[in-house]
Chain A
Amino acid sequence: MNNDLAANLDLLHADAFGWALHCCQGDYSRAEDVLQDAYLKLACGRASHDGHSTFKTWWFGVIRFTAQEEFRRLRYRESLVGRLLQHILPTQDEGDPRPSPSRQIELNEQSQHVRQLLAQLPARQAEVLHLVFYQDLTLAHAATIMGVTIGSARQHYERGKARLRLLMQDTTHPLNHE
C-alpha cells in the first residue's frame, strides 16, 4: 500500500468505519472485519481506484460490497451445511458478534437511538439517509455507492426523510402510542 493511498485511507478511516457500521446494522465486530477485509483487498490489489468517481465514493462502494460478501458468508455459516462444517472444521475464533460490555457502554444512547430509528426504515432509505446526512455526500454520490440511478436515490431520500420524521415524532411523544 503506497503512502498516498494510506494517507487517503487514514483521512477517511473514521467515516469509513461509520459506513461499515451502518452496513453491518451496528454490529461493531463485523464492521471491524468488513473494514479489515476492505483494506486487505487494497493491499492485495484486488480493488483499485480507476478514477471514474471520487476516491471516497469508490472506497465506500468497496466497503458496501465487502459488507454484502460478509453478510453472505454469515448466512452460509448459519446454514445447516455451514454449521456442520464449522463443527467438523473449527475455524479461527471469530469472536462474539456483539460488542463487549465495555463497548456497549461506550456506544452511547444517541448512536443506538438513531440506529433503532433507521432499522425501522427500508434498507435503501436508511442507506441514502446515512450517506447524505452522516457522510455528507451528495445524492449523486450516494446513488453511485448504492448502485442505483439518481432518480431512484432521490425517491428513497424523500420517502426516508418523511418516514424518519414520523418515527422521531413517535419517539419524542410516547403518549401518541397510548
Chain B
Amino acid sequence: MMSWTEVLNALAVLGAVLVVAYFTAYLDLCLATRAAGVSLTSLPKPLGILQPLCITFNLLTKRDNRLARADHLLFRTAPIVAFVTILMVFGIIPWGQALIGRDLNVGLFFFLAILGPVTITLMNAAWGQNSKNGVLATFRAGAILFSYEITIGFAIIGPVMEAQSLSLEKIVAAQHSIWYIVLQPLGFAIYLVAALMMSFRPPFDIPLAGSELAGGALAEYSGGRFVLYKLALNALAFLLAAIGVALFLGGWQGLPLIGPFLPDWLWFLLKSFGLLALMLWCGYQLPRLRVDQMLALAWKILLPLALLNIVLVGIVALFV
C-alpha cells in the first residue's frame, strides 16, 4: 500500500545516501592522506571531518559548464541518472533488524541488475563530452563491465546457496550462528576485488584514470554535476561494502562472542565502513592496472575461483 510511511521511508533512504556518501568521502580522504604519508593532524579539526564539506562548497561555486559540441542530453543527465540509480539500490540495504527500505524477495538480484546502468551512465558521461579521451573512457567502461558483473554475480551465489534466499534480510538472518566469511573466505575475497572493480576505485579506476585520460569520464564536469557524480560514486563504494557486510559479515548482527551490545544499525555502519576502509586501503597500495590486465584478472583468475567457490560451498552446504 502506498502511504506516507513509504514516502518517509524513501526520504530516509535519501538522507542515508547523503550521509554515508559524505563519510565515504571523508574516509577516502583520510586514506588518501595516509597513503601519501601525511598524518591526519594536518587536516582541519576535528580530524578533518569538515574537509569534504569545504571541498564541496568550493566545487559548487563553479559554474556548470555547457560544453560546446557535446551531446547534452547524455552529458547532463548522466550524474542524475547515476545518483537515482544508486539511490534505488540503497532501498534494499538491511541497516538493521526490520530497518530496511524495502525487502525485495529478489533483493540481491535487484542489486546486481540495477548497478549495471551505473556503468552506462559513466559511459554516457564519457561519450557525451564528445572528446577523444571521452571515447577512450567510454570503451574502457564498456569493456570492463561484464568482467566484474559476472564475477560479482558468481561471488554472491555462495551466500545465496547457503541461505537459500535472494532476500538480503533472510541472508543476514541466516548468519546468526556463523558468518559466511568463515564458510566462504574465498568468496569473500573475490567479492572484495570485484567490488573494487565495480566501484571504479583504484587500482581499477580505469575509465576515470586521472593521469592517463586526464580525468576520463568525469573530466568535463564542473560545479554541481561534478559534485553529484562524486556523491554517486562515493555512495556506490559504500553500497558495495554494505552489501558485502550483509552477505559475508553477518549484516547488522553483533560480533558472535561479544554479542549485540551496540544497536544493530550501528553495527552495520561500523562493519560497512570498516570493510570499505579495507577495500580502499588495498586499492591505494597497488598500481593502476591496464584494461587487459584487469580483464585477465577477472576472467582468468577470479571467475574460475568463483566457480570453485561455488563447488566448495555446495559441498559445505550438503555435508556440513
| B partners with A | no
